[in-house]
Structure 1
Amino acid sequence: MSGATLPGTIHGVGLGPGDPDLMSVRADRLLRGASHVAYFRKAGRRGRARSSVEGMLRADAVEIAMEYPVTTEIPLHDPAYAACLSAFYTDVASRLRALAQNGTDVVVLCEGDPFFYGSFMHLYTRLRDDVPVKVVPAITGMSAAWTATGLPVTWGDDVLTVLMGTLPEADLTRRMADADAIVVMKIGRLLPKVRAALAAAGRLEAAWLVECASMAEEKVIPLAEAGDRTVPYFSIVIVHGQGRRP
């Protein structure tokens, strides 16, 4: 139709593990040229994604803060948790869809990689059939974590198993016992459970705790020495594989 407005594009831009130097050239270019920038954050907080791009955005960029309605207030397995977040993602997606349908490009900041346990995935599935959506991949937090240990994570035929600390302890133990190399994410207040599972699987002494990989506050310690404290959200447990080598 003559004079019709071409739709804008929603860009899910992976920022990497937290160090701006580890962003891709494409991510940097999109960020610096963006007229509209959206990012997730906890209510009352600035958000790690927004903080990591400080000084990179245009002075006139329109910022769209997408504030989670819940984080830890409702247990993950409570149906109310999924219902609340589903409504939130649907509402946010409708706002971004309206912008794109009016011809506006929007860059959505994504911690880590957008397609690896990221919130952007929930927007992607709601938007991809209606407006153009492009994704910029990124270095994951786990690759920054095993790099911080100074040791290769896989050798030869090692199989890497990625686990969530939110899994039941029995499931964690079973999968850890069967794994070569292990990454455990989403730890936070669940560190005692993760450590207990590793101990039951006979892998505790080989495990490392990496807090805030690639960031200024990075810390790397043997998990057996970490105690029962609550660790930062950006914490990952690594168990290195010991597979075939020439």
Structure 2
Amino acid sequence: MTTGTIYGVGLGPGAQDLMSVRSDRLIRNAGYVAYFHKAGKTGHARRIVEGMLPENVVELSMAYPVTTEIPFDDPRYKDQLSRFYESSVERLIEIADAGHDVVVLCEGDPFFYGSFMHLYTRLVDRVPVSVVPGITGMSAAWTATGRPVTWGDDVLTVAMGTLPEDLLAERIAQTDALVVMKIGRNLDKVRRALVTAGREDEAWFIEYAAMDEERVTPFREAGQIAPYFSILLIHGNGRRP
């Protein structure tokens, strides 16, 4: 019996018409579809593909055992997620060994800060795995501003709001163009880092890029809450003809 393939399929930033043709084809013809979600929630990846799945598809939900309930640097966090990924992988391998392909839905791009990476490294030497890239949320964010994010020799830095404040301020000060992701509870820290770096007036705040709720505002005018789908952006101003 031929072993099935596990497909990590990039869904893009959240709109069905921003998926690749390959992603669309795999999803619409899937026999098995797996997706991550928070316990008790449908999950954004599953919502994106609503109306696209075949009637007889088998859905495999993968509910995170923990998200923000405990700090990510707590040993329990790593332990629980590691065991979760291991059990998810065993489930996928069992299906692949029975000769079935599985499409794993991945928000944005599977290899860009996505949960699928943790499956991929555990799967790649055991069963066939294929990755379909997708448009990233940050690409949708800078497109929403209506301005190019980099010019000429501009250096683009992608930083996480979870970084220590001093390191975050240093990264902001040293780069030409900037994307800050994973803002959430770190919004106040990000604000202070921007002020320290002297770049608060250059920053933009993009919420729900490429989605119906899309909103673009100067960062100074941002509220006190950062939705899960929010990105801070500073445009580069480098060399141009």
TM-score (ref. length: structure 1): 0.97
Cα deviation per residue 1:138-187 (whole Å; 9 max; x = unaligned)? 10000000000111000110000000001010110011110000000011
- How many Å apart are 1:215 and its aligned residue? 0.3
Query: Percent identity of the aligned residues?
Result: 67
- How many Å apart are 1:70 and its aligned residue? 0.4
Q: Distance in 2 between matches of 1:155 and 1:205?
A: 19
Helix, strand or coil at the partner of 2:118: helix
* 1:243 lines up with 2:238 in the alignment: yes
Helix, strand or coil at the partner of 1:151: coil
Per the alignment, residue 200 of structure 1 pairs with 196
Q: Distance in 2 between matches of 1:230 and 1:95?
A: 37
- How many Å apart are 1:108 and its aligned residue? 0.2
Per the alignment, residue 9 of structure 2 pairs with 13
Helix, strand or coil at the partner of 2:95: helix
Could you tell me which amino acid in structure 1 is paired with residue 2 of structure 2? L
RMSD over aligned CA atoms reads 0.6
Helix, strand or coil at the partner of 1:126: helix
Per the alignment, residue 98 of structure 1 pairs with 94
Per the alignment, residue 149 of structure 1 pairs with 145
Runs of 4+ in structure 1 over 2 Å off: none
Matches within 5 A, 1:165-244: 165-227=161-223, 229-244=224-239
* 1:62 lines up with 2:62 in the alignment: no
Per the alignment, residue 109 of structure 1 pairs with 105
- How many Å apart are 1:245 and its aligned residue? 1.1
Q: Distance in 2 between matches of 1:60 and 1:187?
A: 39
- How many Å apart are 1:190 and its aligned residue? 1.1
Q: Distance in 2 between matches of 1:230 and 1:69?
A: 24
Q: 2:69 aligns with which of 66, 73, 81?
A: 73
Number of aligned residue pairs: give it: 241
Could you tell me which amino acid in structure 2 is paired with residue 67 of structure 1? A
* 1:124 lines up with 2:120 in the alignment: yes
Structure 1: runs of 5+ lacking an equivalent: none
- How many Å apart are 1:241 and its aligned residue? 0.4
Q: Distance in 2 between matches of 1:223 and 1:80?
A: 35
Cα deviation per residue 1:34-92 (whole Å; 9 max; x = unaligned)? 00000000011000000000000001100000000000001011111111101100110
Q: Distance in 2 between matches of 1:112 and 1:139?
A: 6
TM-score (ref. length: structure 2): 0.99
Cα deviation per residue 1:178-224 (whole Å; 9 max; x = unaligned)? 00000000111211111110111011100000001000011111111
